[in-house]
Chains A and B, each alone.
Chain A
Amino acid sequence: MLLIECPWCGKRHETEFQYGGEAHIARPEHPEELTDQQWADFLFMKTNTKGVFRERWNHSNGCRRWFNAIRHTVSHEILAVYKMGDEPPKIEAGEADK
């Protein structure tokens, strides 16, 4: 079970959180201008990264705030957490890659 640092509440058990999938996929501003293929990509196609991955979490059984995390999908090492709208820190590798 992961130990996740909520930017507002600090470190808490994974059971307090809900996973929100890949981060930094903005909802298109004008969906009507997209082709079916482009819209389907937005809806269904997500990156399946082995390694450093930016993803969303919701502290659903806590402060109910959404935030972003950078997690290594092999080691589960959480390399950073940052608030929605913040620039992601530049992290390319985790301990597991060294």
Chain B
Amino acid sequence: MSRVNRTASGGRIDRSKIINFTFNGQRYRGFDGDTLASALLANGVHLVGRSFKYHRPRGIVAAGAEEPGAMVQLEEGAQTQPNIRATQIELYEGLTASSVNVWPSVDFDVSALNGLFAKFMTAGFYNKTFMWPKSFWMKFYEPIIRRAAGWGRAPDKNDPDIYDQMHAHADILVVGAGPAGLIAALEAGRAGARVVLVDEQSEPGGSLLSQNRKIEGLDSSDWVAKAVAELRSMPDVRILSRTVLFGYYDHNYLCAVEQKTDHMPLSQRIGKVRQRVWHFRAKRVIIATGAHERPLVFADNDRPGIMLAGSVQTYANRYGVMPGKNIVLFTNNDGAYETALDLTQAGANIVSIIDVRREAAGELPTRARAAGIEILNGYAITATRGRKRVTAVEIRAIQKGARQYTSAGRWLDCDLVAMSGGWSPVVHLFSQSQGKLSFSAEKSCYIPNISVQSQDVVGAANGTFDLASCLLEGQFAGNAKSAGLRKISVVEPTEGQMEPFWIVPGSVPIGEGSAKHFVDFQNDTSAADIALATREGFENSEHVKRYTLTGFGTDQGKTSNINALGILAGLLDKPMTEIGTTTFRAPYTPVAYGALAGRNLGRWSDPVRVTSIHKWHQENGALFENVGQWHRPWYYPKPGETMQDSLNRECLAVRNGVGVLDASTLGKIDIKGPDAAEFLNRIYTNAWMKLGVGRIRYGLMCHEDGMVFDDGTTARFGDNHFLMTTTSGNAAAVLDWLEEYLQTEWPELKVYCTSVTEQWSTISIAGPKARKLLQKIAPDMDLDPETFPFMSFKEGTVAGMAARVFRISFTGELSYEINVPWNEGLAMWNAVMAAGDEFDITPYGTESMHVLRAEKGFIIVGQETDGTTTPQDLAMNWIVSKKKPDFIGKRSFTRADTSRGDRKQLVGLLTEKADEVLEEGSQLVFDQFAPIPMPMAGHVTSSYYSAALGRSIALALVKGGSGKEGEKIYIPLEGKTLTATIVSPVFYDKEGSRQNGEI
């Protein structure tokens, strides 16, 4: 294909550098400086995709971020990206792209038949259609819609690219390097401020790259070059091009994504950072984001070759591309006249300028008339022709406000329509920053009104459309002190008043006949859909948006929102000022997940905590489970063992011999101070003042609402010194809890808390032979149960190392927890293993630990409790002090709800059949024949097979359960109902005789 639509000269492209690319399998050539969109247009390709719902042929409408339709699938394989706007892809050698939402091809699309069924696909079609039977939806609608709707394909491989993140602070952050942003950055930089200038384009300049102006006697592009050169010479100014400011958050925190290699051939990107997310904190933000042109809403205004006038001007002036040869302009303002003049100069034939205004006598219309261009005032386009490219438009004389036009129609042949419905300030970032907008009737657009954060909005983003005023606003924002001292001379055409014109009917009223008046090109929303929404009672702009899908999708309605509101205002017969915009949310344009993740991937996504003994566990075949961030041994399967085999072996070893557990992950908090005992007395539910030095006590912590929050043992090392243990996953939360009370409620208490979880390795040996084992490696330690009783500890030498030995038990067996400094953990573990060899010592993991404790009816916080469980619910009244006047949670135990008799209470369950192991979480009912929905009686909290008992056991929370021992309870499952008997939660060694082990 030849480059049929290239101008003879001009543009900011390098015609000496030819770039080869492929679109839909066809090879094309463009120039360095092109976007994919400009290169396609240069090659005469207007048809680039199919619309979302009706699969109508669609082309390129705009030239920037506002493009609603021209989305492509960029590249293939792992690097493929869906739904990228062709207008924002810089052309590079070897680029490969294809249309989205087409099947089998963009030229012949099966789903275009949807267009024939358009009647059934109006607003709210999803909500209405899918009220049909569910089976119909699953089998019929969903597969078809999944294939037909939607856009590109997500990559199915890991993203191979590298992303990173940067943080930066600025005195002044300028968003947008158009004229207002450039002069603002210059003034701020000259005043010595630390400035960051962010711009989404490949080069600074904004509208000055598209429009020919004179500033201070220079051509606009030369003025830009001079300004950029001065900015680059300032050491405290940073210019970030190809950088989209996508989010404006609280306290002037803003995020941008910088494309660093996306404009390079794939082969040159290897090893380089593809995109970088910038996190800015700015003292002041200057929003200079410009404006987006609005389409006009007329019959079949979506055909390829119908484009925005300002964008056509950009293609002609910036890219040297003439998107058509015979051009009709359709406008309600003077801007399109300048496009017509520029196009004429570049050699195009202007068929006619259709202007809805009765009169157009300003500078630009006068010049256009003088250039011999036909101007039809008081006319509108009322129909279009052309399947894959517009070929003709019908025009009629109009009466403002008429529902339909009955004047005679006339057809004009053309291959391009350049339309302009006026301009909408890009207020997205201002709105994201919580700024309030107001509708300017004079300018027919929403403009920033009240700022919430430290910011200025300048230029077209502020509704200021003439260059001289843009520059003045920029100067003031950049440096209010010096601004105005230096007047900047500008040569630009004066523009006359625009006339809002939200909808152009045809020879029949909107919604009648087959023509569609598109408002949102991306979501295929037409004016008739909005009318339908109002007929069905949706009048609030947020409701209309959701019912019609206007403003959804990847473009977030950049070209459609204001037209939709204008049409809505007309339908409701309300002024625009009473309609109100929908909410603008981040991101401004889509951001790749990879960029947001940065380097925090894989093993860097979340810290992994392991104990000092971890290597041994790995080398000895342990499988691991995650407990918080900890990786803990789960069980240690031997060759050929099933999981249950391993658990049976590990549990029986503890019951009959000796087992060893790495308990180092247990939270440990060192508590010191003269008021430490008093503090514990207030935190725990039981009494602590009289605990003797050298002794240990189990404690339960509740929140003020009386619900159990954590449990653990605490040892007293001295009058003023305790060591508290917490559950592994809750250690940080408990420390926070203690600190909160010490700092906020009881600052008078002299207590200091220090986390020592990672200072002490804990090796727990459990089983009848535990004493014999410990005595072997601690020959000097007196282990006599009389002098080293249950719930006490000793300090001494174990295996040649200084150790703290706690005699506590979570298994019901004789158990010692040997604590040594973290870096000696592995040495101690090895010593225990060597000494335990003769007792056939068996390492066991968390799963066996859970079985062993459940056999004893010991709770696990977070498993038997869920934040609605009191100590009384757990049958742990014995640990709630009656004597203490106050402790955290006490007052709540007598509230009406916590003292109810039918609360869910902890019970044991024995299934009818010994080998049935219930699913944890199973729902329980008292009456298996109760009508559905059955009243629920509770749920299973823990359930295991107990090798020691030779049957299954379960713990459950059951309504009024503590008074129901011996009663039957049922577990309804799909196709069957299991039966269990309510029993005591203590299944094994009810007398507690085993905790002394073998003497």
> Could you list which residues of chain A lie within 8 angstroms of chain B, going by C-beta atoms?
1-3, 18, 20, 26-27, 30-32, 34, 36, 39-40, 42-43, 56, 58, 60, 64-66, 74-76, 84-85, 96
Known contacts A18-B736, A32-B885, A56-B744; 7 additional CB pairs below 8 A are A3-B253, A20-B744, A31-B890, A32-B890, A39-B895, A58-B739, A60-B736
A36 to B251, CA, bound (A): 41
Q: Which residues of B contact A42 (CB under 8 A)?
A: 704
Q: Which residues of B contact A3 (CB under 8 A)?
A: 251-253, 281
Which of chain B's residues 861-919 have a Cβ closer than 8 Å to chain A? Answer: 885-886, 890-892, 894-896
Q: B891, A75: Cβ atoms under 8 Å? A: no
A84 to B453, CA, bound (A): 28
Task: Report the minimal beta-carbon distance from A16 to chain B, rounded to whole angstroms.
Answer: 13
A57 to B434, CA, bound (A): 23
Known A31-B886, A32-B891; judge A85-B250 contact (CB<8 A): no
Q: B705, A66: Cβ atoms under 8 Å? A: no
Task: Report the minimal beta-carbon distance from A86 to chain B, rounded to whole angstroms.
Answer: 11
At the interface, yes or no: B745 with Cβ under 8 Å from chain A?
Answer: yes
Q: Which of A1, A20, A74, A96 contacts B740 (CB 8 A)?
A: A20
Q: Can you identify 21 A-B contacts, CB atoms within 8 angstroms?
A: A1-B249, A3-B251, A3-B252, A3-B253, A20-B740, A20-B744, A26-B745, A27-B745, A31-B891, A32-B885, A32-B891, A36-B895, A58-B736, A60-B736, A65-B743, A66-B743, A74-B452, A75-B452, A76-B251, A84-B747, A85-B747
Which of chain B's residues 702-727 have a Cβ closer than 8 Å to chain A? Answer: 704-705
Q: Which residues of A contact B704 (CB under 8 A)?
A: 27, 42-43
Taking CB as reference atom, which chain A residue is nearest B732?
A60
A50 to B900, CA, bound (A): 37
Taking CB as reference atom, which chain A residue is nearest B453?
A75
Q: A96, B705: Cβ atoms under 8 Å? A: no
Task: Report the minimal beta-carbon distance from A28 to chain B, rounded to whole angstroms.
Answer: 8
Q: Which residues of B contact A96 (CB under 8 A)?
A: 452
Task: Report the minimal beta-carbon distance from A11 to chain B, rounded to whole angstroms.
Answer: 9
Q: A32, B253: Cβ atoms under 8 Å? A: no
Cβ-closest 7 pairs across A and B: A31-B891, A3-B251, A66-B743, A1-B253, A76-B250, A75-B452, A27-B745
A41 to B453, CA, bound (A): 35
Task: Report the minimal beta-carbon distance from B745 to chain A, rounded to whole angstroms.
Answer: 5
A74 to B433, CA, bound (A): 12
Q: B739, A66: Cβ atoms under 8 Å? A: yes
Q: A84, B744: Cβ atoms under 8 Å? A: yes
Q: A64, B892: Cβ atoms under 8 Å? A: no
Task: Report the minimal beta-carbon distance from B277 to chain A, rounded to whole angstroms.
Answer: 14
Q: B434, A75: Cβ atoms under 8 Å? A: yes
Known A58-B736, A65-B743; judge A34-B251 contact (CB<8 A): no
Q: Which of A34, A36, A66, A76 contacts B744 (CB 8 A)?
A: A66
Q: Which residues of A contact B452 (CB under 8 A)?
A: 74-75, 96
Taking CB as reference atom, which chain B residue is nearest A32?
B891
> Could you list which residues of chain B lie within 8 angstroms of chain A, going by C-beta atoms?
249-253, 281, 434, 452-453, 704-705, 736, 739-740, 743-745, 747, 885-886, 890-892, 894-896
A74 to B436, CA, bound (A): 12
Q: Which residues of A contact B453 (CB under 8 A)?
A: 75
Q: A66, B740: Cβ atoms under 8 Å? A: yes
A43 to B737, CA, bound (A): 16
Task: Report the minimal beta-carbon distance from A55 to chain B, rounded to whole angstroms.
Answer: 12
Q: Which residues of A contact B705 (CB under 8 A)?
A: 43
A30 to B890, CA, bound (A): 11
Q: A32, B250: Cβ atoms under 8 Å? A: no
Interface centre among B281, B886, B891 (most CB of A within 10 A): B891
A96 to B890, CA, bound (A): 43
Task: Report the minimal beta-carbon distance from B665 to chain A, rounded to whole angstroms.
Answer: 21
Q: Which residues of B contact A60 (CB under 8 A)?
A: 736
Q: Which residues of A contact B892 (CB under 8 A)?
A: 39, 43
Q: B895, A40: Cβ atoms under 8 Å? A: yes
Known A3-B251, A75-B434, A76-B251; judge A34-B745 contact (CB<8 A): no
Taking CB as reference atom, which chain A residue is nearest B895?
A36
Task: Report the minimal beta-carbon distance from A60 to chain B, rounded to whole angstroms.
Answer: 6
Task: Report the minimal beta-carbon distance from A26 to chain B, rounded to whole angstroms.
Answer: 7
Task: Report the minimal beta-carbon distance from A9 to chain B, rounded to whole angstroms.
Answer: 15
Known A31-B891, A32-B891, A39-B895; judge A84-B743 contact (CB<8 A): yes
A84 to B744, CA, bound (A): 6
Q: Which residues of B contact A85 (CB under 8 A)?
A: 747
Task: Report the minimal beta-carbon distance from A75 to chain B, rounded to whole angstroms.
Answer: 5
Q: A34, B740: Cβ atoms under 8 Å? A: no
Q: Which residues of A contact B747 (CB under 8 A)?
A: 84-85
Taking CB as reference atom, which chain B residue is nearest A34?
B891
Q: Which residues of B contact A64 (CB under 8 A)?
A: 739
Taking CB as reference atom, which chain A residue is nearest B889?
A31
Q: Which residues of A contact B740 (CB under 8 A)?
A: 20, 58, 66
Q: Which residues of B contact A36 (CB under 8 A)?
A: 894-896
Q: A1, B250: Cβ atoms under 8 Å? A: yes
A42 to B892, CA, bound (A): 11
Q: Which of A20, A39, A58 contacts B891 (CB 8 A)?
A: A39
Q: B251, A30: Cβ atoms under 8 Å? A: no
Taking CB as reference atom, which chain B residue is nearest A75?
B452
Task: Report the minimal beta-carbon distance from B881 to chain A, rounded to whole angstroms.
Answer: 13
Q: A1, B736: Cβ atoms under 8 Å? A: no
A43 to B434, CA, bound (A): 33
Q: A1, B251: Cβ atoms under 8 Å? A: yes
A46 to B890, CA, bound (A): 21
Q: Which residues of A contact B891 (CB under 8 A)?
A: 31-32, 34, 39
Task: Report the minimal beta-carbon distance from A57 to chain B, rounded to whole angstroms.
Answer: 11
A56 to B744, CA, bound (A): 9
A47 to B325, CA, bound (A): 67
A96 to B452, CA, bound (A): 7
Q: Which residues of B contact A39 (CB under 8 A)?
A: 891-892, 895
Task: Report the minimal beta-carbon distance from A94 to chain B, rounded to whole angstroms.
Answer: 10
Taking CB as reference atom, which chain B residue is nearest A38?
B891
Q: Which residues of B contact A76 (CB under 8 A)?
A: 250-251
Q: Which residues of B contact A65 (CB under 8 A)?
A: 743
Q: Which residues of A contact B745 (CB under 8 A)?
A: 26-27
Q: Which residues of B contact A31 (CB under 8 A)?
A: 886, 890-891
Q: A30, B886: Cβ atoms under 8 Å? A: yes
A84 to B740, CA, bound (A): 11
Q: Which residues of B contact A66 (CB under 8 A)?
A: 739-740, 743-744
A88 to B740, CA, bound (A): 19
A60 to B737, CA, bound (A): 11
A20 to B891, CA, bound (A): 22
A94 to B945, CA, bound (A): 63
A74 to B705, CA, bound (A): 30
Interface centre among A18, A39, A65 (most CB of B within 10 A): A39
A18 to B737, CA, bound (A): 12
A33 to B239, CA, bound (A): 66
Q: Which residues of B contact A27 (CB under 8 A)?
A: 704, 745
A84 to B739, CA, bound (A): 13
Task: Report the minimal beta-carbon distance from B908 to chain A, rounded to whole angstroms.
Answer: 32
Taking CB as reference atom, which chain B residue is nearest A42?
B704
A82 to B863, CA, bound (A): 40
Task: Report the minimal beta-carbon distance from B115 to chain A, rounded to whole angstroms.
Answer: 46
Q: Which residues of A contact B739 (CB under 8 A)?
A: 58, 64, 66
A41 to B361, CA, bound (A): 71
Q: Which residues of A contact B890 (CB under 8 A)?
A: 31-32
